Structures are given as structure tokens and as C-alpha cells.
Amino acid sequence: MDHSSHAPHPAGTAEGMSAVASAVDVAGAVFLVLWAVAMWLAVCLLAWANRGPVKPWLYRGSVAVIGLGVIGQVGHFQEHVAQAAYWIANPDAPAWMTPWGDGLARGMGVVDPDNPTLGMEILHLTGNYVFLAGLVGIMLITSRAVTELKARRWARMGVWMQGIHGLEHVALTVSVALGADRAIGLSTWFGAIPPGSALTTYRVWWHFVANLVGTAILTVAVFHLWRERRSVRLSYADGASDSGEQGDRAVGSPRREPTTKAGLADSDTQASTVLTEHVP
């Protein structure tokens, strides 16, 4: 998307966002930022807690992070789909935003009303990190599995890809916030593409393809997570059982030996020997 032209643009385009944000715009922006912050606080807590004994809330917390990440990416991706569809119908027009995306961008733009494109950059930065948190949630929920699960492999791929894409959004946002006349990042050739339809085309399709691939990876990861849910649940159930046994031993309860075929065979042999010694 071209953020460097300062000529008038129609409302609904990334460059033509109204400078006046309503209370609803600001509330929506604050809610979305808090959503992202809460998800990353949860990710940090889950990552730290997963280093110790399993707790009942670890599984449920990871599921919640994944669910919020999926919901967030559905909203994020539809914005890019709408922008790509608008470009197909209007290839020479400035980049377009949906009414709800435009409102959220206005709300986020209150941090610097004199910088008309900063709100849009913050919006997409926030959306990308909500998405990334959801992928990390899949990594966390599968971390206790004994074997390497397909869901974990796909999530790892997504974390790497979206992590790099997230760094680009950081560069785009910071460059605009610092007063650059155009956003600087991979999707602008680091500012080398001049303002105009070429820059708009490149940015629209760069971010559409990046989100298309990322969303496909998330979909496959969630699909495998659903198929492998039994293994994931057992990994937490085993941990809870181990914790319970450790608690029993801590209060002096006798340790129960595992029941195995070899153990049963040894018990039968010992019983036969005792009977032989005592039977005349």
C-alpha cells in the first residue's frame, strides 16, 4: 500500500483516512491492542509454566490462545482479501480499506493525528502479532508430546514465516512513526519504489500473498492438531498423573510399581517358589 502520497484521496483508502476518530473508533482500537497484549502475556506465562510440572490450566490456556489467534487472523486475512479484490476492480486507485478497518486505523492514529498513515501501520502490526501468538500457542500445547507431532512442525514453519513478516511490519511502522516520507520495508523495496500505482500494487499483493500462505499454514496446523488431539491430551494427563504420584510420595504414600507382563511373570515365579518350599 502506498503511504507516501499526500494528495487528497477518497475516504476508505489507506491514504485518505479521516483525521477525526470517533469514540467507537478509539474504543475498537484500544480493544484490539489489549487483545494482542493479553495474548502475548498469556504466551509468556504459558511458556514459563510449561517448564515445570503440568498444571490443569496449561492445556486450557493454550487452547484459548490458539482460538483467539484463529479468530484474529480470520479478521486480518479478510481485510487483505478485500483489498486484493478492490485492486482487481480498481488497479490504478489508491489502496482501499474496509469501513471497519478504516475505523480501527483512525482509532489507532490518535497517537499521532498529524501522521495520516501511522494508524493503518499500527493496525496491521497488531493483527500480525495476534496471528503470530496463535501459532506460538500451537507450539506450546504440543511441547509436552513424546513424539514430534505434525501440528508442531507446521506451527514451527508458521512461526518462522510470520516472525519474519512481523519484523517487516515493525520496520514499516517505526519508519512511518519516525517521519519517513514513505514506509520502509520489504514490501516497499525499503522505500525505493516511488509513490503511485506501482507501489500500491506491490504492497497490496505482497501482504495478500504473505497472509494467504500464513493462513494456509495455520489451517493445516490446526487440522493436524485436531487429528492429534488425543496425543496432546494424553501428554497433559500423563503429566498430571506424574504430579499426583510425586505428591503421594511426598506425604509418605507407598510407591506403586508399574504393572507389566515381565512384572507379572516374576510375581508368578516367586509365588510358585514359595508354594514349593512350603508344600510337603
Asked if residue 186 is part of any domain, the answer here is yes
Asked if residue 80 is part of any domain, the answer here is yes
| Contact indicator for 134, 66 with CB cutoff of 8 Å | yes
Question: For the chain, what is the domain count?
Answer: 1
User: What's residue 223's pLDDT?
Assistant: 98
Asked if residue 62 is part of any domain, the answer here is yes
| Contact indicator for 142, 225 with CB cutoff of 8 Å | yes
Quote the pTM value: 0.79
User: What's residue 156's pLDDT?
Assistant: 97
Grid cell of 190 as nine digits: 525499503
Grid cell of 194 as nine digits: 516511488
What are the pLDDT tens digits along the chain (280 aa)?
A: 434 333 333 445 555 455 688 999 999 999 999 999 999 999 999 999 999 898 889 999 999 999 999 999 999 999 999 999 999 999 999 989 999 999 999 999 999 999 989 999 999 999 999 999 999 999 999 999 888 899 999 999 999 999 999 999 999 999 999 998 889 998 988 888 888 899 999 999 999 999 999 999 999 999 999 999 999 999 888 554 444 444 333 333 343 444 334 443 454 444 444 334 444 4
**Distance between CA 39 and CA 237 in Å, rounded?**
25
Cα-atom radius of gyration of the chain, to the nearest Å?
A: 27
Amino acid at 226: W
145: nearest Cα among 259, 225, 243, 65: 225
Three-class SS state of 123: helix
User: What's residue 19's pLDDT?
Assistant: 60
Asked if residue 226 is part of any domain, the answer here is yes
Asked if residue 146 is part of any domain, the answer here is yes
User: What's residue 238's pLDDT?
Assistant: 56
Asked if residue 268 is part of any domain, the answer here is no
Asked if residue 151 is part of any domain, the answer here is yes
Asked if residue 33 is part of any domain, the answer here is yes
Domain range for 24 is 14-238
Grid cell of 2 as nine digits: 502506498
